[in-house]
Amino acid sequence: MGFARFRAADRFVGGSTTSPIQPEPSPHFVTRDPLGVGGDTIQRESRGDMRGVRAWTMVAMVAALASLALGIGPLRADNPPVARRTPSSTAPAPDDPTWDPVSEAGQHAVGVYLPGVFVARNGLRGVVELARHTRSNAVVIDLKDGAGRVTYDTAIPILQESKRNYLGDAPALIRGLKAEGIYTIARITCFADPQLPLRHPELAIQHHRRHTPWVSWGTGGTWLDPYNRANHAMIVELTREAEAMGFDEIQLDYVRFPVDDGTQYAAYPSEDGTPRPELLIELLSAIDRALRIPVGVDVFGLAAYREGDPSGLGQDLAAWVDHVEIYSPMLYINAMREWEPERPERSRWLVESGVARLRERIGPRPVLRPYLQAFEKGAGHEGFNPTFITRQIVGARVGGADGFLMWHPGARYSMFRRAMQGPARSLSPFPLEERAELRRQRPARRSNVAQVPRERDSAVR
């Protein structure tokens, strides 16, 4: 496929930036290398003096009850008023029909992304062997990929021409993986689709002058119109089929609007005035109601660093916590290659900062499982080696993640294998006790988020 066309970075940010971010970790104290892998690491700060906490808690409870009674929620000037709950350190009530608890295996999942063609070529045995060699306990398998291909025998009529049955007997594959103790995640690409809009232009974002499917300047492909509820219904049905196959978890990708410079020519035929963040919450709510397994989302790495949705993606992450159980920010060093390029151990620092900031924004309740870089492009002065991989894992662990996923578009994970059999061997799975303690006791906090460049789509992930 080649790095010039692989779809890894177009979910994050591409091209150059003119105003590099300076992502400093939250106010934590620094200790020297508590994990034994070299360099400084950031520890969670002590709760310190607890005086006044009980009094403040009582005030907050009274205020919260009053606001709920009046139907008032927290509003921000940069976002429309949408139904939401502030991130909370307490889990929902057991009878909440939209809360689908993540299993213990899912909470500390360490996994790799696998395209459908990898499964077709290697089969169940090859997938299991890769997981064993990389000391992984989870796999992410494409069901609808970035090329618009549906990789299993779908029954959805409109997707029949997109079907490439790479997975064969998909339920048997999933049963086999589970029998080997492997947690299974179904990846579904939502609105970016270079095939379906060409066959069904009525579902597509249109060029506002030519009245043909609009093509992204960044991804080089067409997009489905996020305002078209028929597209929502199709995505919901894909998730239902994934659950019926036996997957443990759904992972949604491209749950957003395009943001490259070509959007000045984009028109949305089904636009009805619904604000973008509210529209995507509508989709996530429909998926949440349809399923009894956890829902995860892949999000722009830069979304970890800023409040609200200033770029127009529609991704207001703090507003998704009622419908999303797992967040996977794509924290690829390649996409941040101009940020502090000479900083020592910059891969650890960049991942740790992104994870810590997102944890502060969404609170302790959701699982935070970042995507990390397993490909060579953009590794910078650190070089592409087991230490580069290990530093990213350290950053994810210390920043407050529950696990991590590795991304290589062609599923070539030899460097990840070397790291997991060497310097990163003792770092995963991340201790669930630490995460459980965090969720029980650490309150959700807001931090001042550094100014970040505007996200743009790119053909390089």
Q: With contact defined as beta carbons under 8 Å apart, do 243 and 250 qualify? A: yes
CA distance 353 to 25: 5
DSSP tag of 35: T
**407 has which bridge partners?**
373
CA-CA-CA-CA dihedral for 434, 243, 370, 338, to nearest 10: -170
Q: Is residue 252 part of a domain?
A: yes
| 36-52 as b/e: b if 16+ CB within 10 A | ebeeebbebeeeeeeee
Q: pLDDT tens digits, residue range 334-391? A: 988 878 888 889 999 999 999 999 999 998 889 999 999 999 999 989 999 999 999 9
Residue 157: pLDDT band by 50, 70, 90 thresholds?
A: very high
What string of H, E and C letters represents the secondary structure of 254-310? CCCCCCCHHHHHEECCCCCCCCHHHHHHHHHHHHHHHCCCCEEEEEEHHHHHCCCCC
pLDDT computed for residue 96 by the predictor: 61
Q: Is residue 163 part of a domain?
A: yes
Q: Is residue 293 part of a domain?
A: yes
pLDDT computed for residue 99 by the predictor: 67
Q: Is residue 118 part of a domain?
A: yes
- Indicate if the pLDDT at residue 326 is higher than 80: yes
Q: Is residue 69 part of a domain?
A: no
pLDDT computed for residue 98 by the predictor: 66
| DSSP helix, strand, coil percent of the chain (3-state; round to 5) | 35, 15, 50
Q: Is residue 49 part of a domain?
A: no
- Indicate if the pLDDT at residue 176 is higher than 70: yes
**HSE (side-chain half, CA atoms, 13 Å) at 367:** 30
Residue 307: pLDDT band by 50, 70, 90 thresholds?
A: confident
CA distance 301 to 354: 7
pLDDT computed for residue 17 by the predictor: 34
Q: Which domain holds residue 223?
A: 9-44+97-441
CA distance 220 to 5: 9
- Indicate if the pLDDT at residue 453 is higher than 80: no
314: left (phi over 0), alpha (psi -120 to 50) or beta: left
72 token code pair: 């008032």
* Side chain identity, residue 25: P
Mean pLDDT calculated for residue range 98-113: 89
CA distance 379 to 143: 29
Q: Is residue 79 part of a domain?
A: no
Tokens 């029954």 correspond to 155
Residue 428: pLDDT band by 50, 70, 90 thresholds?
A: confident
Q: Is residue 172 part of a domain?
A: yes
Tokens 């993640």 correspond to 401
CA distance 6 to 436: 37
Give the closest residue to 189 by CA, choosing from 230, 153, 239.
239
Q: pLDDT tens digits, residue range 124-153? A: 999 999 999 999 999 999 999 999 999 999
pLDDT computed for residue 54 by the predictor: 36
pLDDT computed for residue 311 by the predictor: 82
Give the closest residue to 354 by CA, choosing from 18, 23, 31.
23
* CATH number of the domain to which 204 belongs: 3.20.20.80
Q: Whole-prediction pTM value?
A: 0.77
pLDDT computed for residue 193 by the predictor: 97
Lowest average pLDDT, out of 47-51, 118-122, 211-215, 273-277, goes to 47-51
Mean pLDDT of the chain: 79
Give the closest residue to 393 by CA, choosing from 435, 438, 423.
423
pLDDT computed for residue 125 by the predictor: 98
- Indicate if the pLDDT at residue 303 is higher than 90: no
Which pairing describes strands 30-32 and 40-42: parallel, antiparallel, or unpaired?
Answer: antiparallel
- Residue 54 CB contacts under 8 Å (≥ 6 apart), including other chains: none
Domains contained in the chain, number: 1
Lowest average pLDDT, out of 11-15, 243-247, 407-411, goes to 11-15
DSSP tag of 164: -
Q: pLDDT tens digits, residue range 28-42? A: 323 333 233 333 333
